[in-house]
């Protein structure tokens, strides 16, 4: 494809490698981060205006919906008609829809495209994008998704990408807790963890949390559990996503008792125990150390 001028706003652990992969593919990258971080192959600029002015595409990777709304308003004000705004943050559905509406009012195409795959996926260009927006906007964004990831799914209109992400991560949070509970119970029943894995990973209890991201050290494929639970996906990020799921559930009057309980448990783990800065699979040692009435 013809090289594009891309403004990338938010060069953190995820945004920086994503921007670098776009630069490696031949695109001209201008990057801005409020913390002053940079990325290989990306020209640093000192403001949102500098990143957005004259850009064919602006991509954002930001912490929350409030910041997205502020950044998007500034970026859109300096973007030209017919350009493309892609937000890859994980935010609430309403902020995604608000951003899309602001872009469309300025004759700018918009896609909300949160990602799955973590830092490793961002570095390796193997992310999955869950995209919301018009068919035309998705079609224009698709070649960039192909560079940064291995799969992109057009989930529907504005906000649908965020809806898919928070539903997926609500499942992930609940199944990880269930997986950790099962290992803890197996320990107390005297069942060897490897034997537990061998049975469950090939039986009806299998899941991504068990088979690909096993929370038990030394069992299954390499995972953060084998690195003292150094985060691949931090517990505080899972807490954020579960919070978004419950915010959405309240907004549309959806009954999500397992999601609500997972949110409460991760809140306890992160805010009141030692979960902050640990991988979300570190729920296993947390549960293993507790009794039934703890």
| pLDDT in the model for residue 294 | 67
Q: Note the pLDDT tens digit of each residue in 10-37.
A: 999 999 999 999 999 999 999 999 999 9
Asked if pLDDT for residue 143 goes beyond 80, the answer is yes
Name all domains of the chain by residue range, CATH numbers in brackets. 5-157 (3.40.50.720), 163-289 (1.10.1040.10)
Q: Among residues 59, 49, 50, 73, which one has the least CA distance to residue 27?
A: 59
Query: Which carries the bigger pLDDT value, residue 119 or residue 53?
Result: 53
- Residue 292 — pLDDT band, cuts 50, 70, 90? confident
Q: Taken in order 130, 133, 137, 139, is the CA torsion positive or negative?
A: positive
Rounded to two decimals, what is the model's pTM? 0.91
Give catalytic residue positions: 165
- Residue 181 — pLDDT band, cuts 50, 70, 90? very high
- Residue 119 — pLDDT band, cuts 50, 70, 90? confident
Q: Among residues 125, 117, 95, which one has the least CA distance to residue 21?
A: 125
Chain Cα centroid distance, residue 28 = 25
Q: Collapsing DSSP states into helix, strand and coil, what is residue 34?
A: coil
- Residue 239 — pLDDT band, cuts 50, 70, 90? very high
Helices (H), 37-159: 48-52, 65-76, 93-105, 118-124, 135-148
Pair of tokens at residue 68: 């997205």
Residue with tokens 């309403």: 94
Residue with tokens 């729920």: 283
């Amino acid at each position: 494809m013809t090289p594009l001028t891309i403004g990338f706003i938010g060069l953190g652990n995820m945004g920086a490698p994503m921007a670098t992969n776009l630069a490696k593919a031949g695109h001209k990258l201008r990057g801005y981060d409020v913390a002053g971080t940079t990325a290989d192959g990306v020209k640093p600029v000192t403001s949102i205006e500098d990143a957005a002015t004259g850009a064919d595409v602006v991509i954002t990777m930001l912490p929350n919906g409030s910041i997205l709304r502020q950044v998007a308003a500034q970026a859109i004000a300096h973007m030209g008609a017919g350009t493309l705004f892609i937000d890859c943050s994980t935010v609430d559905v309403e902020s995604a829809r608000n951003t899309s509406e602001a872009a469309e009012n300025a004759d700018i195409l918009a896609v909300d495209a949160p990602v799955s795959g973590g830092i490793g996926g961002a570095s390796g260009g193997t992310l999955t994008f869950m995209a919301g927006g018009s068919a035309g906007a998705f079609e224009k964004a698709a070649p960039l998704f192909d560079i940064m990831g291995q799969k992109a799914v057009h989930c529907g209109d504005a906000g649908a990408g965020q809806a898919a992400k928070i539903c997926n991560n609500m499942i992930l949070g609940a199944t990880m807790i269930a997986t950790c509970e099962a290992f803890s119970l197996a320990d107390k029943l005297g069942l060897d963890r490897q034997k537990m894995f061998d049975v469950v990973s090939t039986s009806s209890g299998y899941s991504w949390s068990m088979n690909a991201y096993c929370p038990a050290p030394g069992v299954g494929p390499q995972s953060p559990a084998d690195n003292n639970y150094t985060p691949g996906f931090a517990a505080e990020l899972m807490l954020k996503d579960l919070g978004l799921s419950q915010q959405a559930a309240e907004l549309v009057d959806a009954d999500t008792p397992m999601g609500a309980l997972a949110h409460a448990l991760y809140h306890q783990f992160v805010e009141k125990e030692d979960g902050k800065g640990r991988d979300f699979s570190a729920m296993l040692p947390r549960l293993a150390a507790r009794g039934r009435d703890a």
